[in-house]
Each structure stands twice: as structure tokens, then as C-alpha cells.
Amino acid sequence: MTAYGLNHKRAQQHTDAALKLMAELGVISQPNNFQTFYAYVAKTNTDLCRTIDILRSNHREFDEAQCEELHVRFFSDQREREIIERISNDLREQLGNILNTVHKVGIDTRKYNKALDHFCSYVGDKDRDLGNLEQALHTLLGATREMEGVNRTLESRLTNSSSEITRLREDMENLKREALTDGLTGIANRKAFDMQLRDAMMNAMEDGKPLSLVLLDIDHFKKFNDTYGHLIGDQVIRLMAESLKRNVKGQDTAARYGGEEFAIILPNTQLGNAVMFGDQLRRYIESHKVVSKSGNTTIGKVTASFGVAEFRPGEPVAKLIERADKALYLAKENGRNLVVGEQQLEGNDVVSGTQGLDSRDAQAIPAQ
């Protein structure tokens, strides 16, 4: 069989496997989802495969929001490429304008130098007379004014180019911020979370200090969407993000992890303190209600489930996330609106409220 035949056969096998898996998981058959799961079965993206494996091992639902998050995270960089291309084209245009202006000034400068040389030569001529001297001065004055005009033009064009380049630099900064910001909530997105978590893990190993990760998921979010529609669902997600903004401060990082799930990176924080922080946040969220945009109707109370894990020096990112995700799943399995620390994973003896704290953990928490 030819190489083309082998590749075609392999591609067909991947296609069949992707469609079969999508059907098993209840994933809607549409192009973006097919692209995601084809890459998964073909094992062309290690991070994507690891993420889906974690979601499957924790029995996570691959609903519309989850599938969209996967595609955005791993494939949707088209808009970023388009913006970069536009900025690059504008920069090339501005550099071209500057070079053309400098080239013209170079020609005019050589012309002016010739006028100066001619005048100097005439001044040194013993046969000069007043009339010719006056004519030479007139010529030199005209050349000088012309050069002044050229310099003003150069200055104006360079000023305009400088302003345009400054604007393009601001566009680049905005693009960088946009690439790391969740569009719906305004907090860090998954890409920013991945970068921040890796940096935090490196710092924790270098400094020998603790690091904890909190994953939280909005309880019964699908019911909000199914009952009230996606606009209310988006409002619930924004309310959750606002709760994080108000409670996550300093060196800590809050991010939208995907769909209705959020993550908090807590440097210099041991597991017990992280669990206590999670419960404070849980109670804060529980105390707020979702109201209609008109403000006349209370739609309901929002709660969230939390899973907390502490970084073990030397372990890969996926292992830390996996433990936090398993703790989160355990919190949901045991009634939701709970905070579960990773040490509860072995015993699974979850009762109520905040889990994973013993007396030593409580004593280690400073007074608020």
C-alpha cells in the first residue's frame, strides 16, 4: 500500500473513532467539536489529550460549554493571528514612509550642500561684484528656506509615524491582555491560568514555600441555562467572577478555568489555609442571589463546590490539577456547596460544610 493509502486509511480510522467517541460522550456533532475529538484520538496535541483524559476520569459532562472551552483553548487563535498580521502590515507601512522621507531628505540635503559649496566658491572669487553677490545670496536664501521646509516635513512625518507606532504598540499590549483575559468575565482565562500556575510551581520549588490550588464549579449550572436561558447563565458566571474579584487579592490569581468552572492559585498557602479560604469564599457566594436585569425578580441563589490540593514539589502540572479536580468531584458527589481538601480523597468521609481541616490547620490560620 502506498504512503498516501496508509495515511488515508489512518485518517479514516481517526475519523470513525472520533465520531464514535463523540456519540458515546453525547457530544454535539459539529465541526469544532469534531476537530477537538479528532485531535484527541489522533493524539496530535498532548495537552488536549491530558485535559480530556482528566475530564473523562472524573466523569465530567462534555456539554456545549465544556466543548466550546476546549476548542477555544486549543484551537481558536485565528483572531489573534489576524490582529498580529494587521499590526505587522501597519508597521511595514510606517517604516516604508519613514525610509521614503529620509531618502528624500538625503537628496535635498545633497542639493543644499551643493548650493553652499557654490556660494562659498563665489565668496572666494576675486572677480565677484555686488550684483552677483546679491544673486548668490538670493539663491542661498531660497535653498535654505527650501531645506527648512523639508526639515519641517520630515519632522511632521516622523511625528505622525511616531504617533502611529505608539498606537500600534498599544494595540499589541491590548492584544496581549486580551489573549490572557476571559471575554465574558474580565478575569484571567485558561491560557493565563496555565502560565501563572507553571510560574507559581517553579517559584514554590525555588523558594521552598507551599502552593495550593482551588478548583470551584457552579452548582446546578445546567439547570440555570435550561430554565432561564443562556443570558441568565452568563449572568451567573459573571456573578461568580465578581465574587472572585472581591475575595482574591494580592499575589493570588483567579481564573475562569472553563465553562462554569473557576480556579484560584494560592502561593505561600498550605492546604489547611487554602481550604479555610475556600469556605470563606463559598459562604460569600452563597449569600448572594441572582436577580433579573430589571431588578424586580429574584431568580435564585448560587452555590459552588470546591476542590483543594497542595502542590508536591517536582510533580507535573496535570497531577496537581487532577487531585484538585477529584476533590471537587467528591464535593459534588456528597451534596454540593462543599469544600473538600485532597486528603479526603482516600477516606471519602465527607460529612458537611468545610472538609479537610483538623485542629492543627485551624490554629495555623491567622486571625482575619
pLDDT-derived band of residue 357, with 50, 70 and 90 as boundaries? very low
Query: Is 78-179 in CATH node 1.10.287?
Result: yes
Beta partners for residue 308, in sequence order: 214, 341
Other beta carbons within 10 angstroms of residue 8's beta carbon come to: 12
* pLDDT the model gives residue 80: 64
| 253-258/339-341 β-pairing | unpaired
Residue 54 has pLDDT above 90, yes or no: no
pLDDT digits (tens, 9 = 90+) for 143-152: 666 666 766 7
* pLDDT the model gives residue 108: 64
Q: Which runs of E-coded beta strand occur in the chain? A: 211-218, 253-258, 261-267, 289-291, 298-301, 304-310, 339-341
pLDDT-derived band of residue 329, with 50, 70 and 90 as boundaries? very high
Distance (Å, rounded) from C-alpha 220 to C-alpha 126? Answer: 102
190-364 belongs to which homologous superfamily?
A: Reverse transcriptase/Diguanylate cyclase domain (3.30.70.270)
E strand or H helix at 186, and its extent? none
For the ranges 112-121, 186-195, 270-279, the one whose mean pLDDT is highest:
270-279
For the ranges 92-96, 131-135, 292-296, the one whose mean pLDDT is highest:
92-96
Q: Residue 106 burial (CB < 10 Å; 0-12/13-18/19+)?
A: exposed
Nearest by Cα to 119 from 130, 107, 133: 133
Beta partners for residue 339, in sequence order: 306, 354
Backbone angles phi, psi at 310, to 5 degrees: -110, 140
Please, which residues have CB within 8 angstroms of residue 267's CB and are 6 or more apart in sequence?
Answer: 200, 203, 204, 209, 211, 251, 252
* pLDDT the model gives residue 299: 75
Q: Are 341 and 356 in contact (CB under 8 A)?
A: yes
Sheet holding 253-258, edge to edge: 253-258, 261-267, 211-218, 304-310, 339-341
Catalytic positions: 260
pLDDT-derived band of residue 352, with 50, 70 and 90 as boundaries? very low
pLDDT-derived band of residue 37, with 50, 70 and 90 as boundaries? very high
Q: Are 217 and 325 in contact (CB under 8 A)?
A: no
DSSP category for residue 350: -
